[in-house]
Amino acid sequence: MVIVETLIKNVNILNPNEEIQTLCNVLIEDKHIKQISRKKVSTKNNVKTIDGQDNYLMPGFIDCHAHIMANGFHKEENMANPLALHFYNAIKHGKQTVDAGVTTIKDCGPADIGVKIAQKKGLFIAPKMEISVTPLVSTGGHFDLFLPSGFDMEIVYPGFPKGRCDGPLEVLKKTREIKRAGADFIKVMASGGVLTTNTSPDYPQFNVEELKTIVEEAHVNDLKVSAHCHSLKGINNCVDAGFDSIEHGTFIDKKTSHKMAENNVKLVPTMLVHDFLYHSGFPAWDNYAAEKTAKLKEIVKVHKENISVAYEEGVDLLMGTDSGVIAHGHNLEELIHLTDIGMSNDEAIASGTINAAEFIGKKDSLGSVSENKIADLILVNGNPLDDVSILADNDNILKVIQNGCLVKNI
């Protein structure tokens, strides 16, 4: 068996929560980091060498809330486009995401097991994926794609279950179906949302009995459960039911933040998506643009202030962007929003690296530039601890290495 070696010379290693290691050499053997040293490293004759030129080597980022196949979630596109196009979208989106410095995502739908396998086999360049396949939705709730016209826009094909369910027995069966479809975690729509008409982000979805049923079944199978949830009542319901993370968390308050921190429930605030959507708007042909904009206005008004309260109360925040609702490739702009609410640059970076790796159960293999870990790395022009906005400019992500292979090279 031929061992492939790559030597990255003359780099400063930046791991969150650690002192920067200056002028290091990093030897990668196949897909693992074999050695880190300030001294000369012994290599084979056929070693590939990368001169880091005194730039900063960091772990590849983990986006804890993305939709690699999505292109805005416009129901009209579901009506018009052939099914295959949704899969081909993932090719472009995957490269855009990797080029932004993200080497792993938690995909919150609708990437399925086939997309995950294709990435794993190297059929296209994309981040590694932890998938939820499709979210659990209540009838008439967020992401119930049944239109006022009576047409159902939910995409279904063999191996891809419908997400709509109501009552303890149905949610139990649906959780099992989604696990059977290859999900790594369960996603639940636990409040209304912006993109679905006739739902309000203020209102919870699913009752506590339904939510507990989902959590119990998922946890028995060692699957975490994440809730799309803006609603304060919905967040409390999910914490009481034993959820592992809340996505968005718009209307969270101090009391609920304290309860989340006590119960070790993570928060993925996705501040970028609401700010981005609010300022870029919706397509002119979107018949529901006015309703969506009105809901966004209420979210943007309070979101950052409430997330700041959650941070001050000790809630663990993880980096997630909701990319797919907005254009792909802007992922690390979320770090700026995280520092806006009070996180240090180091804490923001940790939320998308070592802390995210721990949440998805990959702390031993991902999340830091460390010997024996998988070589998912980015080489950055400048020190993000001095200015985290460096990472938001994709031109500053000079190189991306995934499983020891160079997948972006400026």
The pLDDT tens digits for 260-276 are 999 999 999 999 999 99
Structure tokens at 388: 């985290």
The candidate with the shortest Cα–Cα distance to 54, out of 34, 33, 24, 32, is 24
Strand order in the sheet with 5-13: 32-37, 21-29, 5-13, 48-59, 377-380, 397-402, 405-409
Pairing of strands 48-59, 5-13: parallel
pLDDT of residue 72: 84
User: What helix, strand, coil percent values describe the chain, rounded to 5?
Assistant: 35, 25, 40
User: Domain check: are 20 and 72 in the same one?
Assistant: no
User: Domain check: are 207 and 84 in the same one?
Assistant: yes
DSSP 391: G
* Rounded-to-integer distance, Cα 246 and Cα 237, Å: 11
Domains of the chain: total: 2
Alpha helices in 113-207 (DSSP H): 113-120, 167-180
- What is the span of the domain harbouring residue 296? 61-359
User: Domain check: are 92 and 43 in the same one?
Assistant: no
DSSP 323: B
User: Domain check: are 55 and 98 in the same one?
Assistant: no
State which of 359, 381, 401 marks the end of a domain. 359
pLDDT of residue 404: 98
The 10s digit of each residue's pLDDT in 106-119 is 999 999 999 999 99
Report which secondary-structure segment, H or E, holds 311: helix 289-312
3-state secondary structure of 1: coil
Structure tokens at 54: 């005194």
Q: What b/e readout covers 191-218, taking b as 16+ CB neighbours within 10 angstroms? A: bbbbbbeebebbebbbeeebbbbbbebb
Q: Report in angstroms the alpha-carbon separations of 94 from 30, 88, 270, 364.
A: 22, 10, 19, 24
**Taking the CB of residue 177, how many other CB atoms lie within 10 A of it?**
18
Whether the bond between 110 and the residue before it is cis, its omega within 30 degrees of 0, is: yes
User: Domain check: are 313 and 239 in the same one?
Assistant: yes
Could you read off the pLDDT tens digit of each residue along the chain, which spans 410 residues?
678 999 999 999 999 999 999 999 999 999 999 999 999 999 988 899 999 999 999 999 999 999 999 998 877 777 788 889 989 999 999 999 999 999 999 999 999 999 999 999 999 999 999 999 999 999 999 999 887 788 887 878 999 999 999 999 999 999 999 999 999 999 999 999 998 877 899 999 999 999 999 999 999 999 999 999 999 999 999 999 999 999 999 999 999 999 999 999 999 999 999 999 988 888 877 878 888 888 988 999 999 999 999 999 999 999 999 999 999 999 999 999 999 999 999 999 999 999 999 999 999 999 999 999 999 999 999 999 999 999 999 999 999 999 999 999 98
User: Domain check: are 35 and 168 in the same one?
Assistant: no
CA angle 233, 234, 235 (to 5 degrees): 95
* Rounded-to-integer distance, Cα 327 and Cα 281, Å: 12
pLDDT of residue 156: 83
pLDDT of residue 86: 87
Bridge partners of residue 408, in order along the sequence: 400
* Rounded-to-integer distance, Cα 190 and Cα 193, Å: 9
User: Domain check: are 272 and 386 in the same one?
Assistant: no
User: Domain check: are 44 and 112 in the same one?
Assistant: no
User: Domain check: are 207 and 328 in the same one?
Assistant: yes
DSSP string, 97-130: HHHTTEEEEEE-SS--HHHHHHHHTTSS---EEE
CATH number at residue 381: 2.30.40.10
| HSE-CB for 32 with a 13 A CA cutoff | 8
User: Domain check: are 55 and 82 in the same one?
Assistant: no
Bridge partners of residue 191, in order along the sequence: 204
pLDDT of residue 354: 98
Which residue matches tokens 């994709």?
A: 394
User: Domain check: are 19 and 100 in the same one?
Assistant: no
pLDDT of residue 45: 81
User: Domain check: are 355 and 381 in the same one?
Assistant: no
CATH number at residue 233: 3.20.20.140
The 10s digit of each residue's pLDDT in 334-360 is 999 999 999 999 999 999 999 999 999
First to last CA, the chain: 31
